Chains A and B, each alone.
Chain A
Amino acid sequence: MNVSRFKSQGAPNVHEMSTPEAIIDMHGILKTFKNEAGEVTVLKGIDLTINRGEFVSIVGKSGSGKSTLLNMITGIDHPTHGRMVIGGTDIYTGVTESQRSRWRGRNLGIVFQFFQLLPMLTLLENVMLSMDFAEMYDFDERPVRAMEMLKLVGLEAFANKLPVLVSTGQQQLAAIARALACDPPLLVADEPTGNLDSRSANTIIELFEELSRGGKTVVMVTHDPSLTSRTTRNLVIADGLIVGDSRKTEQANGTS
Chain B
Amino acid sequence: MKPRWRKVIHDLVDNKARTLLVVLSIAVGVFSIGVIAGAYQIISTDMSASYSANQPANVELRMTNFDDDMLGSIRNQRGVEKAEARRVFNVRVRVPGTEKWTALDMTAFDDFEKNSIDLLKPIEGQVVPKKRQVLLEQDVLNHIDTKLGGILEFQLPDGSTKTLPVVGIVQDTAASAGDFLASPSGYLTMDTLEYLGQPRRFNRALVLASQGGDDILHIRDLGAKLKDKIEKNGGLVVRLRFSKTHVHPLADTVNAILGILMALGILIVFLSSSLIANTLNALLNQHLRYIGVIKLVGGQRRQVFVMYLTLIMAFGLLALMIAIPLGGQGAYGLSLFIAGELNFNILGYRIVPAALVIQIFVALLVPMVAGLVPVINGSRITVLRALSGGVAEEKKYVKNGEERLPWFDWIQVKATRVLSQRGIHIPRPFVISLRNTFRRKNRLLLTLFTLTMGGAIFIGVMNVRVTLHSYIGQIGKYFASDVSVDFDRPYRLTEIQQKVMQVKGVQHVEGWQFVSGELLDNNNEVLENINIFGPPADSQLIQPLLVSGRWIRADDVRKLAVSEAALKYYSALVPGARIKLRIDGKEELWEVVGIFKFVDREGVLAYAPYEYVSKVNNLVNRASSFRLVTDRHDRPYQDAKAEELDKYLRDLDFKVRVAQAGRATLDTAVESLDILVVFLLVMALLTAIVGSMGLTGTMGMNVLERTREIGIMRAIGADDRAVMRTVIAEGVFIGMISFGLAVILSIPVTYLLSTIVSLAVFQTPIDVVFTYQGYAIWLGLILALSAVGSILPARNAARLTIREVLAYE
Q: What is the 8 Å Cβ interface bit string for chain B, positions 772-808, against chain A (1 contact, 0 not)? A: 0000000000000000000000000010011100100
A77 contacts B803, C-beta separation under 8 Å? yes
CA distance A204 to B646 in the complex (A): 99
Known: A76-B806, A116-B712, A143-B425. A162 touches B718 (CB 8 A): no
Known: A116-B712, A133-B717. A98 touches B798 (CB 8 A): yes
Q: Is A134 an interface residue (CB 8 A)?
A: yes
B435 contacts A132, C-beta separation under 8 Å? no
Q: What is the 8 Å Cβ interface bit string for chain A, positions 107-119, against chain B (1 contact, 0 not)? A: 0001010101111
Closest 9 CB pairs of A and B: A105-B717, A98-B720, A133-B717, A120-B435, A76-B802, A98-B719, A130-B716, A129-B428, A164-B394
Distance from B370 Cβ to chain A, minimum over Cβ atoms (Å)? 28
A104 contacts B717, C-beta separation under 8 Å? yes
Q: Is A51 an interface residue (CB 8 A)?
A: no
Nearest A residue to B403 via CB reads: A165
**DSSP class of B's interface residues: helix, strand, loop or mixed?**
helix
Known: A76-B802, A118-B712, A132-B428. A165 touches B718 (CB 8 A): no
- In B407-449, the 8 Å CB interface with A consists of 409, 413, 416-417, 420, 425, 427-429, 431-432, 435-436, 439
Inside 8 A of B403's CB, which chain A residues have their CB?
164-165
- In B522-579, the 8 Å CB interface with A consists of none
- Sample (5) of A-B pairs whose CB atoms are under 8 Å apart: A76-B801, A101-B720, A118-B709, A122-B413, A164-B405
- In A112-164, the 8 Å CB interface with B consists of 112, 114, 116-122, 125, 128-130, 132-134, 139-140, 142-143, 160, 162-164
Q: Is A178 an interface residue (CB 8 A)?
A: yes
Distance from B391 Cβ to chain A, minimum over Cβ atoms (Å)? 11
B432 contacts A120, C-beta separation under 8 Å? yes
CA distance A185 to B395 in the complex (A): 36
Inside 8 A of A121's CB, which chain B residues have their CB?
428, 431-432, 435
Distance from B705 Cβ to chain A, minimum over Cβ atoms (Å)? 12
A133 contacts B718, C-beta separation under 8 Å? yes
Distance from B604 Cβ to chain A, minimum over Cβ atoms (Å)? 67
B717 contacts A101, C-beta separation under 8 Å? yes
Distance from A172 Cβ to chain B, minimum over Cβ atoms (Å)? 14
Q: Is A99 an interface residue (CB 8 A)?
A: yes
Cross-chain contact of A125 among B394, B428, B801 (Cβ < 8 A): B428
Q: Is A235 an interface residue (CB 8 A)?
A: no
Cross-chain contact of B713 among A99, A125, A133 (Cβ < 8 A): A133
Distance from A170 Cβ to chain B, minimum over Cβ atoms (Å)? 12
B717 contacts A118, C-beta separation under 8 Å? no
Q: Is B201 an interface residue (CB 8 A)?
A: no
- In A148-195, the 8 Å CB interface with B consists of 160, 162-165, 178-179, 182
Cross-chain contact of B809 among A98, A114, A128, A133 (Cβ < 8 A): A114
Known: A98-B798, A128-B428, A165-B403. A134 touches B715 (CB 8 A): no
Q: Is B396 an interface residue (CB 8 A)?
A: yes
A182 contacts B413, C-beta separation under 8 Å? no
Q: Is A97 an interface residue (CB 8 A)?
A: yes
Inside 8 A of B722's CB, which chain A residues have their CB?
133
Inside 8 A of B18's CB, which chain A residues have their CB?
none
- In A67-117, the 8 Å CB interface with B consists of 67, 71, 74, 76-77, 96-99, 101-102, 104-106, 110, 112, 114, 116-117
Of the listed residues A96, A121, A140, A163, the one surrounded by the most CB atoms of chain B closer than 10 A to its CB is: A121
Distance from B727 Cβ to chain A, minimum over Cβ atoms (Å)? 14
Q: Is B7 an interface residue (CB 8 A)?
A: no
A71 contacts B803, C-beta separation under 8 Å? yes
B717 contacts A134, C-beta separation under 8 Å? yes
CA distance A165 to B402 in the complex (A): 9
Distance from B511 Cβ to chain A, minimum over Cβ atoms (Å)? 76
Inside 8 A of A128's CB, which chain B residues have their CB?
428
Nearest A residue to B414 via CB reads: A160
B417 contacts A133, C-beta separation under 8 Å? no
Of the listed residues A102, A106, A128, A140, the one surrounded by the most CB atoms of chain B closer than 10 A to its CB is: A102
Nearest B residue to A107 via CB reads: B717
CA distance A121 to B721 in the complex (A): 20
Nearest A residue to B710 via CB reads: A118
Inside 8 A of B380's CB, which chain A residues have their CB?
none
Inside 8 A of B395's CB, which chain A residues have their CB?
164
Nearest B residue to A104 via CB reads: B717
Nearest B residue to A99 via CB reads: B719
